[in-house]
Amino acid sequence: MSKKNRRRLPPITAQDRHHICFIKSKWNSGYAGCICKAFVRYVPIVYHRKLHAKLRYVPVPDRALIRKAWYEYLENKDEIDKYDICRAIAWLYVHIPDVDFRKAMQFQLDFFTRRMDRSV
């Protein structure tokens, strides 16, 4: 096969925006929308595609839990905005105690921890 016809993957250094809480249609209103917009981090495109191939969406927790987490986020916004992807996911895991939501966060945390350890 010639070089010309090979499928080229973007380089590992290429970055993409990853909404930790996705699908946006479910996370688009009220406090859920605020959390979705606040927790966007950059990840390599290759990892982003692999994650979305395995995890289709993050379930939306109860409104009261999201509201509480949003106000806790606002108290420490400057510090939390500096977090990398793994710390941001861990912060959400701790502050939103919904079982299904935590399963999705744990999956993402395990996924990125394994991938980021390999790339170092």
Query: Would you place residue 22 in the very low, low, confident or very high pLDDT band (cuts 50, 70, 90)?
Result: confident
Q: Is residue 46 part of a domain?
A: yes
Query: Would you place residue 23 in the very low, low, confident or very high pLDDT band (cuts 50, 70, 90)?
Result: confident
Task: Report how far residue 2's alpha carbon sits from residue 5's, in angstroms, rounded to the nearest whole number.
Answer: 6
Nearest alpha-carbon partner for 12 in 44, 50, 51: 44
Q: Is residue 9 part of a domain?
A: no
Return the higher-pLDDT residue of 1 and 116: 116
Q: Is residue 25 part of a domain?
A: yes
Q: What is the pLDDT of residue 24?
A: 67
The domain containing residue 66 runs over which residues?
A: 15-119
Q: Is residue 69 part of a domain?
A: yes
What does the pLDDT look like over 47-105, one tens digit per residue?
Answer: 888 988 898 889 999 999 999 999 999 999 999 999 999 999 999 999 999 999 999 99
Mean pLDDT of all residues in the chain? 84
| Total structural domains within the chain | 1
Q: Is residue 115 part of a domain?
A: yes
Query: Would you place residue 12 in the very low, low, confident or very high pLDDT band (cuts 50, 70, 90)?
Result: very low
12 contacts: CB under 8 Å, gap ≥ 6: 44, 46, 119
Q: Is 54 helix (H, G, I), strand (E, B) or coil?
A: helix
Q: Is residue 63 part of a domain?
A: yes
Q: How far from 100 is each of 32, 59, 85, 96, 97, CA to CA, in Å?
A: 15, 6, 20, 10, 9
